[in-house]
């Protein structure tokens, strides 16, 4: 995975307005107006947030006749999730190794049990 593409998708997800837009688009394609209604920010700010999401590749514009709609593009989100999951797995493995060691070496030896 390209490092810059991870930079962009994580940055895209780091703002609540942009996460709200992604949450709405996860339910289906929407016009820009539908995807951004009732967000308590100015129109120029909205435009900037949408642009950040587009540049991260997290959303795409679907041209439907004369109307532009926004659609979620899941590949960058999946890459971000895969990166996180890989770190969690590595971190978890450490504990699995400790647990396996304990199971193999600290089991109760029946010969040592009281008669």
Binding site for its own copies (CB under 8 A): 3, 6-8, 10-11, 13-16, 19, 22-23, 25-28, 72, 74, 77-78, 80-81, 83-88, 90-92, 94
What residues pair up with 72 in beta bridges, in sequence order?
A: 59
What residue has token string 């999951």?
85
CB of 111 to its own copies, least distance (A): 35
Q: Which residues of 65-104 are buried (b: 16+ CB within 10 A; e: fewer)?
A: eeeebbebbeebbebbeeeeeeeeeeeeeeeeeeeeeeee
- The sheet carrying 59-64 orders its strands as 30-31, 67-72, 59-64
Nearer to its own copies, 32 or 83 (CB): 83
Nearer to its own copies, 8 or 49 (CB): 8
CB of 100 to its own copies, least distance (A): 16
CB of 35 to its own copies, least distance (A): 13
């Amino acid at each position: 995975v390209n490092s810059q593409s991870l930079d962009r998708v994580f940055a895209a997800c780091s703002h609540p307005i942009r996460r709200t837009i992604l949450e709405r688009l996860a339910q289906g394609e929407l016009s820009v107006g539908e995807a951004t209604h009732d967000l308590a920010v100015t129109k120029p700010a909205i435009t900037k947030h949408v642009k950040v999401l587009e540049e991260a590749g997290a959303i795409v514009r679907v041209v439907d006749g004369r109307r532009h709609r926004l659609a979620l593009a899941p590949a960058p989100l999946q890459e971000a999730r895969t990166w996180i999951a890989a770190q969690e797995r590595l971190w978890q493995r450490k504990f699995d190794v400790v647990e396996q060691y304990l199971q193999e070496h600290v089991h109760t030896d029946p010969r040592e049990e009281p008669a």
